[in-house]
Structure 1
Amino acid sequence: MTVEYAGLGDWTVEALGEPGQVRPVVTAPHPVLGQAGVEVDPTDAEVVRLAADLVATMRVSPGCVGLAAPQIGVGAQVFAVDVTGHPKTVTVHGTFVLCNARIVEATRSRPGREGCMSVPDLTGDVKRASRLVVDGVLPGTGAPVRLVTDGFEARALQHEIDHCAGLLFLDRVAGAHAVYQRKVYL
């Protein structure tokens, strides 16, 4: 039975006693970024460690609101998201990690600017659903969840699900006219 994820507080793998390690982020054109990740057993100890590493790496990366396993060189369907405090955020579920996530409903498609730690020099305009229903599984517990969200958090989820499918935001832009050099602030 799938239960709706209703903000169980910040879900982190620290609650399971597994500290995360900061891992290096791979950048395009690394081959793992273009390959679909494999489905995982969310209760496997290696998956729990991977989830902890994703959260730890995301937390030390300025401006990062999501990180998928392929971005740290692991071809698996696992990602972390936390849009807390981002100015574009409407709905916030705190810090969470999902395994084997699938979009089951997507509506109200809108364009928006995206960037990515794995494509550090570019941003692009990508059309994404602004309301989303996602089914996934929590690592460690193996509990199935249904996440209903909108706005910026919905965009972040779609971006990370794309990573798990071997896609970058550059694969979703309308063309070269929708890709921009990232601004650097000194």
Structure 2
Amino acid sequence: MFFNLKNWSDLNGWGEKNLYLKFFTIFFLALHLLWVSVHLLFVSKDLINPWKLGGYGMYTVPHDSPRTHVFLQDATTKRWTELDYSKNKFATRKFEQLNHNNIFKCRFPSERSLVGFIDENPHLRYQPLVIAVSKIVFSRYPIQVERQIRAKIEIAWSKNREFFGYRGQICGRKYSGKVKYS
């Protein structure tokens, strides 16, 4: 039976016409597997937020729910107090939007996002601030979930209030800068 076949492609049902379709299907299957592997690699190295991008990596870690916290320094006591997040004491829409909604976890906040935050919160202008971004962290031993600070940005104003300087730390890397504010 097998010895009488002259064309082995007839054995598996793929004729000469469908040979290109077969290689096309295999190529895109391999490309998809490569995409999934790279995506899972980025999730495992904590470079992207899988819950913002979707895909298979989304199911490997719990949703980290990034949240922005704002701390003000009291002028008399020099103590830092956190503004209540639930009572809408500050707005973070522009800050989060200009930082791509925290998709890229270790990306430094842009100067435009800091200016947007200050524009959105005029009552916080010209005061020393600390903006912190926290996320939910899952640990396996012991099994628990807790919120930890992932990024911190300190903002201080110049005496003539034309500039503000910022410095901070995200994913263990430090950064700083100065912005002209008008």
Structure with greater Cα Rg: 2
Using the size of structure 1 for normalisation, the TM-score is: 0.23
Q: Which has the higher helix share?
A: 2
Specify which structure has the bigger relative contact order, considering alpha-carbon pairs within 8 angstroms and separated by 6 or more residues. 1
Using the size of structure 2 for normalisation, the TM-score is: 0.24
